[in-house]
Amino acid sequence: MTFRPRALRAVLLLAGFFQIGIALLAAMAVLDWLLVTRLFTARAARFEGMIIAVTVLLAVIILRGMFTFLRAGCLGRMDHGVAVGPDDQPELWAEVRAAAEVAGERPPDELYLVAEVNAGVAEQSRLLGLLPGRRRMLLGLPLLAGLTVPRLRAVLAHEFGHYSDRDGRLGALTMRGRKAVLHTVEMFHEGSTALHEAIGGLYVGYAHVFLRASQSVARDQELTADRMAAEHAGRDATAATLRALPVLAAAHTHYMKTYAGMGEPLGALPPVGEVYGGFRRLLAARPGELLTTFSAGTRPPRPHRYDSHPPDAERIALIERLSADGRADGGDGPPALGLLHDADGVFVAMEARGLPDGVARLPRMRWEDLVLARAVADAEDWSRPLQVAVARALRSAAPALDATLVHRTDVTAPQEEPVPPGLDEVLDAIDRGLLWPEVADRLPKPPQAARLTGPSARNFIRPKVFDGLAGLVHLHLVRSGHAVPDTGWSGRPGLALPQEWEEGLDDALDAAVADTPDTTPLRALLVSSATVSA
């Protein structure tokens, strides 16, 4: 079956989705009329009111579903994006208009920049696109930060390609219909009553029929959009863009979790404009293949069975079968972020729109200060369980030494909490043979590991001891001025340690937490750092 018959079948099924509501409303109206005019008896009077009430409630639910279906393309408020007009960003708008022209479509009426690795065009259409309306385009700032202009052109042309009428309006209408059907089904799922579930079950069943029937049409529409992108940006640039987008998405996820969210436990934020704008620093420090490490070894998300996007490998293969057009892959093109006037100001405006009010009011810290504060906080978290376990082991092993080793307090404030053991005291406890099992047994364990004994217990708890001891070492080096913050844009943020510590710390820690502990290598490093300080 060719494209047009398949698309026509999908549109007829789409109309049937709406006609279900009409048929149900008509059936209930006939039932109510028969109850009132033909079936009314004194015996049935007590049931008549209840039946009519149920049918009225069902009618309200159905009408709500039909209204949701018809308004599925309605544009709501945009609270999380930065609106940019043609006068604000003329170069960006020129690229958007050029992509729309290639697709034979009208450009959007609104353009919003958002903090996502995504792009899309939505239309406030009526009757699922038979009557056109206002258009809005969403364009992710991370895309502008991570793509060149030629590759951005491929993204823009693809989005307008969804609305292309080269195969008639049926393909675009089917795509809108799929969104409307899914939106309507979600509305029924939100209802919590048995009536919602009953009516929703009928619509869900029909939705599966429609989505299966329209799946091939939707996929053809996606491939049409890819061909339009290749026509506008070039075959190689379009294929390169499809390869780059998953890598860019993985890098952005890493950035938001590792950098933008770094200050969350501290109640602090990066510098103004850097919550989203700092992503540029990560991209600048990881050119080319270094970025692929973020997505290396990860499986692509399992697609939904009704996902209209074919697998990326299939899309790339089909694009590369197109005739060569002599255009490069766009990797050396000008950065797309250069299309923006005052990009720094745009990132600041994005924070004002994208951050919740409570979060936006948090104090700001320089990247170096934020990295150092987070490294210290993490080191304290790692070391605290070990310090508590050592303190308890010392109290148990030598109560007479409690006052000097564990419960040291300022004589002017005898009511203060005991000072936890420091690095030297922990090493002394290890040298006294308290690590296995006295200290280890006092470290917290999950229930599934509580019954482990012998080598199994040691192997389970050893990484926790390692981390706790590493945390104490980091705190010692920070306080002595030997560790400095490293933003790690090309790696991971943390502390930069002296060279001898970087080279020997892991081996020294391994020796200290071995079955037969040896703190000599770690103490030697401590002596060397003290000598340097002197």
DSSP codes, 282-294 = HHHHS-GGGGGGG
Mean pLDDT of the chain: 82
- Angle subtended by helix axes 499-512 and 520-533, to nearest 10: 150
Q: How sure is the predictor about 65, in pLDDT bands with cuts at 50, 70 and 90?
A: low
Q: How sure is the predictor about 362, in pLDDT bands with cuts at 50, 70 and 90?
A: very high
Q: How many CA atoms lie within 13 A of 34 on its CB side?
A: 8
Q: Higher confidence at residue 155 or residue 294?
A: 155
- pLDDT tens for residues 297-343? 566 666 666 666 788 889 999 999 999 999 999 999 999 999 999 99
What is the structure's pLDDT at 194?
Answer: 63
* pTM of the complete model: 0.79
d(Cα 14, Cα 2) in Å, to the nearest integer? 19
The amino acid occupying position 133 is G
Task: Among 18-32, 226-240, 273-287, name the one with the lowest average pLDDT.
Answer: 18-32
What is the structure's pLDDT at 410?
Answer: 46
SS3 132: strand
Q: In angstroms, what is the C-alpha Rg of the chain? A: 32
What is the structure's pLDDT at 491?
Answer: 81
Bridge-partner residues for 121, per DSSP? Answer: 137
Q: To 10 degrees, the CA torsion angle through 3, 169, 114, 93?
A: 120
Residue pointed to by tokens 């502990």: 517
Please check the confidence at residue 152 and state whether its pLDDT lies above 70. Answer: yes
Query: 416: which 2 tokens?
Result: 């203060």
SS3 458: helix
**DSSP E strand boundaries for 458-530:** 484-486, 494-496
Q: Higher confidence at residue 195 or residue 136?
A: 136
Task: Among 59-68, 206-215, 312-321, name the one with the lowest average pLDDT.
Answer: 59-68
What is the structure's pLDDT at 9?
Answer: 59
Segment of 1-5, 138-142, 194-198 carrying the highest mean pLDDT: 138-142
Please check the confidence at residue 205 and state whether its pLDDT lies above 80. Answer: no
The amino acid occupying position 336 is A
The amino acid occupying position 148 is T
What is the structure's pLDDT at 124?
Answer: 73
What is the structure's pLDDT at 238?
Answer: 97
Q: How sure is the predictor about 212, in pLDDT bands with cuts at 50, 70 and 90?
A: confident
What is the structure's pLDDT at 215?
Answer: 72
Query: 166: which 2 tokens?
Result: 């080269």
Q: What are phi and psi of 201, to 5 degrees?
A: -60, -40
Please check the confidence at residue 439 and state whether its pLDDT lies above 70. Answer: yes
d(Cα 337, Cα 146) in Å, to the nearest integer? 8
Q: How sure is the predictor about 48, in pLDDT bands with cuts at 50, 70 and 90?
A: low
Segment of 153-167, 306-320, 460-474 carrying the highest mean pLDDT: 460-474
The 10 Å Cβ neighbour count of residue 110 is 17
Q: How sure is the predictor about 29, in pLDDT bands with cuts at 50, 70 and 90?
A: confident
Q: Is 312 in contact with 242 (CB distance < 8 Å)?
A: yes
Of residues 170, 322, 331, the one with CA closest to residue 235? 322
Tell whether omega for the bond before 271 is within 30 degrees of 0, i.e. cis.
no
d(Cα 319, Cα 310) in Å, to the nearest integer? 12
Query: 510: which 2 tokens?
Result: 């391994």
What is the structure's pLDDT at 309?
Answer: 74
Strands 131-140 and 119-126: antiparallel
Q: How sure is the predictor about 296, in pLDDT bands with cuts at 50, 70 and 90?
A: low
H/E stretch holding 119: strand 119-126
Handedness of CA 499, 500, 501, 505 (dihedral sign): positive
Of residues 425, 427, 430, 428, the one with CA closest to residue 440? 430
- pLDDT tens for residues 388-423? 999 999 888 765 444 444 444 444 444 444 578 999
Measured CA angle at 69 (ends 213, 129), to 5 deg = 75
Mean pLDDT, residues 470-480: 94
Task: Among 57-66, 464-473, 517-526, name the one with the lowest average pLDDT.
Answer: 57-66
The amino acid occupying position 57 is L
Handedness of CA 24, 30, 36, 38 (dihedral sign): negative
Q: Which DSSP symbol is given to 509?
A: H
Please check the confidence at residue 293 and state whether its pLDDT lies above 50. Answer: yes
d(Cα 439, Cα 459) in Å, to the nearest integer? 14
What is the structure's pLDDT at 133?
Answer: 74
Spatial CB neighbours of 27, under 8 Å, sequence gap ≥ 6: none
Q: What are phi and psi of 71, to 5 degrees?
A: -100, 20
d(Cα 263, Cα 386) in Å, to the nearest integer? 25
d(Cα 217, Cα 219) in Å, to the nearest integer? 5
